[in-house]
Amino acid sequence: MFEQFKAKAEGVSAEVHRFSTAAEALAFLVGFLQGEGVADLAGQYGVFAACPFLNQVDRTSLAAIPGLSFEVTRERAAAAKVGISQVDWALADTGTLAQDATAIDKRLVSTLPSIHVALVETSGLRPDMRALLADIRPEQAAYLAMITGPSRTADIERVLTIGAHGPERLVIVFIDRMGGSN
Amino acid sequence: MRQEFKTSIDRALRNANLTGALGKFSEAYKVNRAKVYEGIDFEELRGQIAELKSSASSILPELVEQFRKNAEAKGAKVLYTNDPAQVREYILKVVRENGVKSIVKSKSMATEEIHLNSFLEKAGLEVCETDLGEWIIQLAGQTPSHMVMPAIHMTKEEVAALFSKEVDERLASDIPRLVKVARKEMRPKFLRAEMGISGANIAVAETGSIVLVTNEGNARLVTSLPKVHIAVIGIEKLVARFSDIVPILKALPRSATAQLLTSYVSVITGPVPNSDGSTKELHIILMDNRRSAMAADPMFKEAMQCIRCASCLNVCPIFRLVGGHVFGKVYTGGIGTILTAWYDELKSSEEIQGLCIQCGACKDVCPGRIDIPGLIMEIRRRLVKEQGMDLTQKAIFSVVNNRRMFHGLLRAASVAAKPFSKGSKFIRHLPMFLADLTDGRSLPAIAAKPFRDVFPTIAQPQGLKERAVFYAGCLIDFAYPEMGEALVKLLNHAGIEVLFPDDQTCCGAPARYSGAYETAARNAADNIKTLMGERADYVISACPTCTVALCHEFIATLESLGNSHWLPQARELAAKTVDFSTLAKKLVDEGRLTFRQGQALGAITYHDSCHLKRTLKADQPPRQLLRQAGYELTEMFECDTCCGMGGSYSLKLPEISAPILQRKIKNIKDSGAQLAAMDCPGCVMQIRGGIDQDGAPVRVRHTVEILAEQVVASVGKP
């Protein structure tokens, strides 16, 4: 299912990575944020929405990145370059991420910054939407969000352009074993 | 047709940007749509959607109540109303209660329908459309020309000019740069808006959920940043079960924009937290505006199965020429014609219904399985019922139904036009007000002797075992008797004697397609009496439009008028009737018809006639026959796109028919074949006339003529 997901997601211009452990994913994330020049500067902030991943890993290396905050306000998110959140599911047949996004910070970090990094447990893979909707009831998730690739538009002369109102890059990080750091 | 309407058509046709953009899009759309539906059983999928939507529309009041109960239990406020004014007043009340000054909107056709923006702007509010296409037309002060791609009619240069004015800076017409400008301009508006207004693509009664589908991400911002969210939803979006969203979300993005899924799908069930810790105020307005009345109509309830993908626009040969604006201010294209007739009033569709050429391309791709051309015909029927036929039309039908008089008149006109036909078989130019008819197309000169007078002179072999009644139809009878002769020759070779009952008359298609069902029913009765009066094994026609009349429309017309007297015989006739190529293929397969062996006759290209392919589903037999006869089939681009004839359509709207024909001619020439075959004498008339004026060295012939030249006597034949 992962390979199918990867092909479909890359087909809609998402970037897909996969790591065995949360620690490896953390190392990638730190490098990524540094590489993107996340800094304590409006327009260059990073915002990280509360999620199980953050409880699993040693945050020291993240805390050392200036401009990366774990308190997500709309002002902060609006001035951020990178937003990070954990999503709950990945749908293989369309390359779609799905998330209970009722908490506002999850939506702020995935809508306002120009790059959205989405962490997802590999066990969250489902074959398709039908399988997902068997797992989740809307009564339990007031805002169920599905994301397939970065924001796009073709409203001017039908020319596909990536990055309309939402993120212009979607970086998906699969983590096989979230529990434990080895 | 009013001059104003004709003028709007002319303006659209002359707009090269529009026809260029739409033409390119429609070509790419077909290819991409096919690609995203690979591996999916479309018939099964649209069967599911049609079923769930039609069952929902049959219990709308219950679903409205169920939705209200479930959404309110979650904390949303729900208003159901039939009255657009009440929708506007309600929104204004919520605006006042919350001290709202600025509103951001994500795309909503329901709010377009009730002209909400101008109402709110008059009340002193800042209203900003955030969908890029909607924003562009808002800045331009226009209305959407397409349900899914509102600004498809504008060029990047026009957009750059609009944006330059808005940001007070000269912008180049670089599309990614323009999109960035829109993003930047819109951000502060999103952040300062106190209210977000959206539509919804689906509303689920079982859970009180609304589903929003977007690509740009604007709906996520509209439903997340402002503290108040109002969703305005037409009640046709209601479905019963949560699981019903799966097939709709499978079809909607594929059919709308040829995507597997849009970038964002949001399912919202009750109010969600705001960024300041408060809970959002969520209002859901279920707008009826005559949808219940539509759902209660035995015919038009089918239109409630629409999921608003606009694929009927994308495949329409007319829409790609004229775009959306000629259809009116809100809903456009095929389905838009139907929605306008209901949400506005029947009379509003009087002119735009005439734009439909009845080719059936939209019916084939509709994910809600709506018979869009059928419903447009029903609009015509009701308009005629309400307003009566105009006198010219009445006079025409009375002549058409008197066969010898009809031929006499046509022939007289043809002879009178002799100076114009320059002794050829064409009338190239007609004088004065008829000039439009020969603009880009020559009309056939009317045969000196109609088929009905030629037939008795044909010597058929004696002792043939089977009998077929030949139904000629107007064109073969009066313009192309040689097609009839070819058919007799071919069937004789297969051991079939051909009968031509002299009392046969017009098949009624022209009357039916003009909404004159009473006239069509008389035609049906007359023909049933005549054609069933002979003992025969088959009734055969070499005109697909006539065949469709005999096979389907006699029954439908009689049924719709509650005329049961002729129905049993109409059904018998339908069962016996077959189109030329289907019967010929059967005869070849049975070994009763044989072509000359080992012929290499060169390249041929085949044009699909709308009724043959899409109603009779017989697009393969003629191809197989032509190959078997020794031709090498070279498919033209868009082989199954209408040629623009559409019966009297080319007479009523020649300015639209002509460019459709030009495309067809170009595609035929580009195929490289110097012979084009087709199964419909109407298409022959249109295309042969177009080729004549174009001067290309291509022969245009009916399949029956081509095959008749290649048949040889079968072994063991009498």
Mean pLDDT for A64-81 is 95
Tell which of B291, B317, B350 closes a domain. B291
Q: Is residue B105 part of a domain?
A: yes
In this structure, of B13-17, B185-189, B525-529, B704-708, the range with the lowest mean pLDDT score is B13-17
pLDDT of residue B335: 93
Taking an 8 Å cut-off on Cβ atoms, the answer to whether A164 and B133 are in contact is no
Q: Is residue B341 part of a domain?
A: no
Spatial strand order of the sheet with B631-633 comes to B631-633, B602-606, B675-678, B699-702
pLDDT of residue B22: 84
Residue B391 has pLDDT above 70, yes or no: no
H helices of B537-615, where?
544-548, 554-560, 567-576, 580-589, 610
Say yes or no: B255 and B400 in one domain. Answer: no
Tell which of B242, B276, B291 closes a domain. B291
Q: Is residue B147 part of a domain?
A: yes
Residue B432 has pLDDT above 80, yes or no: no
* CB-based burial label for A5 (10 Å; 0-12, 13-18, 19+): buried
Q: What tokens does B162 get?
A: 């609009």
pLDDT of residue B714: 60
pLDDT of residue B418: 53
Q: Which chain B residues are closer than 8 Å to A135 by Cβ?
A: none
pLDDT of residue B6: 86
H helices of B577-694, where?
580-589, 610, 620-628, 649-652, 654-671, 681-694
Q: What confidence tens digit (pLDDT) does each residue in B284-330 have?
A: 999 999 999 999 999 999 999 999 999 999 999 999 999 888 888 78
List the 17-76 stretch of B: residues with Cβ below 8 A of A: 21, 24-25, 28, 74
Q: Is residue B447 part of a domain?
A: yes
What CA–CA distance (Å, rounded) separates B29 from B258?
Answer: 7
Q: What confidence tens digit (pLDDT) does each residue in B498-533 have?
A: 999 999 999 998 888 888 899 899 999 999 999 999
Q: Higher model confidence: residue B13 or residue B678?
A: B678
What CA–CA distance (Å, rounded) separates B270 from B275?
Answer: 16
Q: Which among B209, B216, B224 has CB closest to A153?
A: B216
What CA–CA distance (Å, rounded) separates B36 from B45?
Answer: 13
CATH number at residue B260: 3.40.50.10420
Count of alpha carbons within 13 angstroms of residue B592, beta-carbon side: 17
Chain B residue with CA closest to A168: the answer is B216
Residue B357 makes CB contacts below 8 A (sequence gap 6+) with B317, B318, B642, B644, B646, B649, B656, B657, B660
* CB-based burial label for B662 (10 Å; 0-12, 13-18, 19+): middle
Which residue type sits at B316?
C
Q: Higher model confidence: residue B715 or residue B520?
A: B520
In this structure, of A12-26, B274-288, B334-348, B689-703, the range with the lowest mean pLDDT score is B334-348
Say yes or no: B268 and B410 in one domain. Answer: no
Q: Higher model confidence: residue B22 or residue B433?
A: B22
**What is the nearest CA distance from A59 to chain B, expressed in angstroms?**
24
What CA–CA distance (Å, rounded) separates A46 from B371?
Answer: 52
Residue B419: pLDDT band by 50, 70, 90 thresholds? very low
Residue B404: pLDDT band by 50, 70, 90 thresholds? low
For chain B, the domain total comes to: 2
Tell which of B260, B291, B322 closes a domain. B291
Residue B717: pLDDT band by 50, 70, 90 thresholds? very low
In this structure, of A176-180, B164-168, B387-391, the range with the lowest mean pLDDT score is B387-391
Q: What confidence tens digit (pLDDT) does each residue in B568-623 have?
A: 999 999 999 999 999 999 999 999 999 998 889 999 999 999 999 999 999 999 99
Residue B426 has pLDDT above 80, yes or no: no
CA-angle at B85, arms to B82 and B88, nearest 5°: 110
Q: Which chain A residues are closer than 8 Å to B248 by Cβ?
A: none
C-beta pairs of B181-187 under 8 Å, 24+ apart in sequence: B182/A164, B182/B132, B182/B135, B183/A163, B183/A164, B183/A165, B186/A165, B186/B104, B186/B128, B186/B130, B186/B135, B186/B218, B187/A78
For chain A, the domain total comes to: 1
In this structure, of A20-34, A131-145, B269-283, the range with the lowest mean pLDDT score is A131-145
pLDDT of residue B650: 82
pLDDT of residue A178: 85
Residue B397: pLDDT band by 50, 70, 90 thresholds? low
Cα B412 vs. chain centroid, distance in angstroms?
Answer: 36
Q: Which chain B residues are closer than 8 Å to A148 by Cβ?
A: 260-265
Q: Higher model confidence: residue B147 or residue B182?
A: B182
**What is the nearest CA distance from B373 to chain A, expressed in angstroms?**
27
Q: Is residue A138 part of a domain?
A: yes
**Number of other residues whose CB lies within 10 A of the CB of residue B182:** 26
Kind of pairing, strands A68-69 and A15-21? unpaired
Residue B634 has pLDDT above 90, yes or no: yes
Taking an 8 Å cut-off on Cβ atoms, the answer to whether A166 and B264 are in contact is yes
Residue B411: pLDDT band by 50, 70, 90 thresholds? low
pLDDT of residue B146: 86
Taking an 8 Å cut-off on Cβ atoms, the answer to whether A108 and B274 are in contact is no
Q: Is residue B220 part of a domain?
A: yes
Please give the share of chain B, as a percent, with pLDDT higher than 70.
91
Q: Which among A93, A94, A156 has CB closest to B175?
A: A156
Q: What confidence tens digit (pLDDT) does each residue in B68-80 have?
A: 999 999 999 999 9
Q: Which among B24, B28, B261 has CB closest to A96?
A: B261
pLDDT of residue B423: 47
Torsion of CA B40, B366, B612, B340, to 10 degrees: 180
Residue B428 has pLDDT above 60, yes or no: no
pLDDT of residue B421: 52
List the 86-105 stretch of B: residues with Cβ below 8 A of A: none
Q: Which among A102, A130, A164 has CB closest to B179?
A: A164
Say yes or no: B277 and B402 in one domain. Answer: no
Domain housing A173:
2-177
Is residue B184 within 8 A of residue B218, CB to CB? The reply is: no
Residue B431: pLDDT band by 50, 70, 90 thresholds? very low
Chain B residue with CA closest to A167: the answer is B217
Q: Is residue A182 part of a domain?
A: no
Domain housing B662:
396-718
List the 144-183 stretch of B: residues with Cβ below 8 A of A: 149-152, 154-156, 159, 175-176, 178-180, 182-183
Q: What tokens does A62 get?
A: 């993240």
Kind of pairing, strands A161-162 and A152-153? antiparallel
What CA–CA distance (Å, rounded) separates B121 from B14?
Answer: 33
Residue B478: pLDDT band by 50, 70, 90 thresholds? confident
What CA–CA distance (Å, rounded) separates B554 from B531?
Answer: 13
Residue B239 bridge partners (DSSP): B204
Taking an 8 Å cut-off on Cβ atoms, the answer to whether B269 and A95 are in contact is no
**What is the nearest CA distance from B164 to chain A, expressed in angstroms?**
15
H helices of chain A, where?
2-11, 22-35, 52-56, 60-63, 74-78, 104-111, 129-135
Residue B715 has pLDDT above 60, yes or no: no
Is residue B629 within 8 A of residue B349, CB to CB? The reply is: no
Q: Is residue B18 part of a domain?
A: no
Residue B420 has pLDDT above 80, yes or no: no
Picking from A4, A10, A144, A155 by the largest number of B CB atoms within 10 A of its own CB, the best residue to mutate is A155
Chain B residue with CA closest to A159: the answer is B175
In this structure, of A174-178, B85-89, B290-294, B420-424, the range with the lowest mean pLDDT score is B420-424
Q: Which chain A residues are closer than 8 Å to B25 by Cβ?
A: 158
Average pLDDT of the residues of chain B:
90
pLDDT of residue B51: 98
Taking an 8 Å cut-off on Cβ atoms, the answer to whether B130 and A165 are in contact is yes
Which residue type sits at B424?
S
What CA–CA distance (Å, rounded) separates B626 from A180?
Answer: 71
Residue A129: pLDDT band by 50, 70, 90 thresholds? very high
What CA–CA distance (Å, rounded) separates A130 from A114?
Answer: 30
Picking from B179, B222, B284 by the largest number of A CB atoms within 10 A of its own CB, the best residue to mutate is B179
Please give the share of chain A, as a percent, with pLDDT higher than 90.
88
What CA–CA distance (Å, rounded) separates B155 from A164?
Answer: 18
Residue A68: pLDDT band by 50, 70, 90 thresholds? very high
B242 touches chain A (CB under 8 A): yes
Q: Which chain A residues are closer than 8 Å to B186 by Cβ?
A: 165
Q: Is residue B383 part of a domain?
A: no
CATH number at residue A16: 3.40.50.10420
Q: What confidence tens digit (pLDDT) does each residue in B23-41 have?
A: 888 899 999 999 999 999 9
Residue B19 has pLDDT above 90, yes or no: no
SS3 (DSSP) at B514: coil
Q: What confidence tens digit (pLDDT) does each residue in B544-564 have?
A: 999 999 999 999 999 999 999
Chain A with chain B: Cβ pairs closer than 8 A: 168
Q: What confidence tens digit (pLDDT) does each residue in B652-711 have?
A: 888 899 999 999 999 999 999 999 999 999 999 999 999 999 999 999 999 999 999 999
What CA–CA distance (Å, rounded) separates B687 from B634?
Answer: 17
pLDDT of residue A181: 44
Q: What confidence tens digit (pLDDT) does each residue in A93-124 have?
A: 999 999 999 999 999 999 999 999 999 999 99
Residue A135 has pLDDT above 90, yes or no: no
Q: Is residue B345 part of a domain?
A: no
Taking an 8 Å cut-off on Cβ atoms, the answer to whether B224 and A104 are in contact is yes
Say yes or no: B272 and B141 in one domain. Answer: yes
Say yes or no: B260 and B404 in one domain. Answer: no
Q: Which among B132, B225, B243 has CB closest to A164?
A: B132
Residue B422 has pLDDT above 60, yes or no: no
Kind of pairing, strands A125-126 and B209-214? unpaired
Instruction: Give the per-residue SS3 of A37-84.
Output: CCCCCCCCEEEECCCHHHHHCCCHHHHCCCCEECCCCHHHHHCEEEEE
What is the value of ipTM here, to two decimals?
Answer: 0.96
Residue B229 bridge partners (DSSP): B196, B282
Region of B608 on the Ramachandran plot (φ > 0 left; ψ -120 to 50 alpha; else beta): beta
Chain B residue with CA closest to A166: the answer is B217
